[in-house]
Structure 1
Amino acid sequence: MTLSFEGTQSYIATEDLSVAVNAAITLERPLLVKGEPGTGKTELARQVAQALDLPMIEWTIKSTTRAQQGLYEYDAVSRLRDSQLGEEGVHDVANYIRKGKLWQAFEAEGRVVLLIDEIDKADIEFPNDLLQELDRMEFHVYETGEMVRARQRPIVIITSNNEKELPDAFLRRCFFHYIRFPDIDTMRAIVAAHHPGIKAELLSAALTQFYELRETPGLKKKPSTSEVLDWLKLLLAEDLSPEDLKRDGANALPKLHGALLKNEQDVHLFERLAFMARNPRGR
């Protein structure tokens, strides 16, 4: 059966993103997705699983995560403790093997979506340590002598926030896609999927202000798609009108700006802009 992804009712996939997902499926290569935080990289894997009606296995990477943990871990400490207590199962080492996310994906009865989320948070050697396993779809369990092979090749989606450069050897084995920040027309479609009842006038005023805010020189953290959706939810909850959103030089901060601006430097930036607007000679 040919699998094809075109987005879902709640996830607006641009044409180039759909092409990337389907190309990775066809090539049977991991899809490496980069983009600004909040552009839907993690959510993409969940929506691919939903659209294709496949189970999903999620492996969230942290700075302390080791590649071996994705395969399996041998719990030698528990085995030693059980041997001291005279437990019967201590002689079978398989009782002390903890299966990792890759093992779970490999042994699944049917095809699954495997998300390796934020791979760039781990040590620089982490991607290289997974090269063979992701390429061959198999690995060896040294403690038991078992060879674990994928029953069906999972759809592997890997996300990165570009915190570290990934090794060339790893990149060669992936199909790459960068999720660009949505233009205003795409954003309208995204908002319509989440807030279908929003009035056109309020949406136009809010999105105009949002994109102006994103382009403000000196902004440390640009608000993301998820943040504008939260902001719009608040605007609707407060029943604000387009007129309520209007800003002047004396009040440069957007209404309910805490949904959009997430650090004090950016708040101070808009406060300074307001001050300069009130005191043009004091610049």
Structure 2
Amino acid sequence: MKFTGTDAYVATEDLTVGVNAAITLERPLLVKGEPGTGKTELAHQVARALDMPLLEWHIKSTTKAQQGLYEYDAVSRLRDSQLGDERVNDVCNYIKKGKLWQAFEAPKRALLLIDEIDKADIEFPNDLLQELDKMEFNVYETGETIRATHRPVVIITSNNEKELPDAFLRRCFFHYIRFPEMETLRAIVKTHFPDIKDRLLTTALTQFYEIRDTQGLKKKPSTSEVLDWLKLLLADDLSPEDLAKDSKDALPKLHGALLKNEQDVALFERLAFLARGQR
């Protein structure tokens, strides 16, 4: 069972090593990187390549670790008891299985994605330590122990918004997805737009990296944003000359796909003004 990338996902050598090492060690793979660098998509492509069912647990600021195991609806049970509903005699009717439970009882080895774990409370990762380590948990309302039939592959993503506890990090295999270099990004683009002309792609990517390298930029455009930008360029049938024309005097063509806040737009407007003043 080895992951080598797919026809829709260009995986660098160090990324494939990280994925396969985590699978071999039977440890969660903790993936960090800039937003838009393909962390979530990695889980989709690993599941596809290894023919695994994918279970996605998208974390929010209000998410609790217990929700990944199960939730007991005591309010509904109380209401049904007041109405004389016979369902109250079986507590299982009021237990909702979480994503970990579903992964544990999957008929074949599954891939569990815990997406953007850093959005949750700081105690959230610690609350999952034993369950991810031992691959079992107790259901206190029924007295049963749920154990993984097949140990799932676990991929955890983080945008680095907050530090994760050391005890949690110790149990993970870590990989940081660096922003791709020009040739890797070119290969990524080709998987999405195989018919794009080389001259247009070279011109667009050169301009894109110049934008990313601009000093003072508040939010650097990501891989997903350059793909959106190129899709617009192709839809408008723009040429390399259209991109290069007046490049020192104006914002990038269709800049709304790349610049996502007013501070960065204002930065490029100031740079354009300074460029005109130097002529």
TM over 0.5: yes
Conserved? CA contact 2:116–2:157, under 8 Å: yes
Conserved? CA contact 1:74–1:98, under 8 Å: yes
Conserved? CA contact 2:31–2:155, under 8 Å: yes
Deviations for 1:211-246, whole angstroms, at most 9, x for unmatched residues? 000000000000000110111111111111100001
TM-score by length of 1: 0.97
Deviations for 1:109-137, whole angstroms, at most 9, x for unmatched residues? 11000000000000000000000000000
d(CA) in 2 for partners of 1:91, 1:44: 44
**Residue equivalent to 1:56:** 54
- Tell me the percent identity: 80
219-228 vs 239-248, which deviates more? 239-248
**Residue equivalent to 1:255:** 253
* Post-superposition offset of 1:91: 1.5
**Residue equivalent to 1:132:** 130
Select 2:216's aligned residue among 194, 218, 221. 218
Q: Say whether residues 1:104 and 2:110 are aligned partners.
A: no
Conserved? CA contact 2:111–2:152, under 8 Å: yes
Q: Say whether residues 1:95 and 2:90 are aligned partners.
A: no
Q: Which residues of 2 match residues 238-249 of structure 1 at below 5 A?
A: 238-248=236-246
d(CA) in 2 for partners of 1:27, 1:10: 26
**Residue equivalent to 1:46:** 44
**Residue equivalent to 1:73:** 71
d(CA) in 2 for partners of 1:202, 1:78: 60
Q: CA RMSD in A?
A: 1.0
1:11 is paired with a residue whose SS is coil
d(CA) in 2 for partners of 1:239, 1:81: 61
* Post-superposition offset of 1:247: 4.7
TM-score by length of 2: 0.98
Opposite residue 170 of structure 2, the aligned amino acid is R
* Post-superposition offset of 1:152: 0.4
Conserved? CA contact 1:219–1:266, under 8 Å: yes
**Residue equivalent to 1:28:** 26
Opposite residue 66 of structure 1, the aligned amino acid is K
* Post-superposition offset of 1:61: 0.2
**Residue equivalent to 2:186:** 188
d(CA) in 1 for partners of 2:177, 2:159: 11
Conserved? CA contact 1:214–1:222, under 8 Å: yes
Conserved? CA contact 1:249–1:273, under 8 Å: no
- Structure 2, unmatched stretches of 5+, are none
Opposite residue 17 of structure 1, the aligned amino acid is L
Conserved? CA contact 2:249–2:276, under 8 Å: no
Conserved? CA contact 1:249–1:278, under 8 Å: no
Conserved? CA contact 1:35–1:178, under 8 Å: yes
d(CA) in 2 for partners of 1:71, 1:240: 51
- Structure 1, unmatched stretches of 5+, are none
**Residue equivalent to 2:266:** 268
d(CA) in 1 for partners of 2:149, 2:243: 55
Opposite residue 56 of structure 2, the aligned amino acid is E
d(CA) in 2 for partners of 1:252, 1:14: 35
1:156 is paired with a residue whose SS is strand
Q: Which residues of 2 match residues 227-242 of structure 1 at below 5 A?
A: 227-242=225-240
* Post-superposition offset of 1:94: 1.1
* Post-superposition offset of 1:92: 1.2
Q: Say whether residues 1:19 and 2:17 are aligned partners.
A: yes
2:92 is paired with a residue whose SS is helix
2:210 is paired with a residue whose SS is helix
* Post-superposition offset of 1:251: 2.4
**Count of aligned positions:** 279
**Residue equivalent to 2:164:** 166
Conserved? CA contact 2:249–2:275, under 8 Å: no
**Residue equivalent to 1:5:** 3
Runs of 4+ in 1 over 3 A off after TM superposition: 247-250
d(CA) in 1 for partners of 2:247, 2:184: 30
Conserved? CA contact 1:60–1:117, under 8 Å: yes
Conserved? CA contact 1:249–1:277, under 8 Å: no
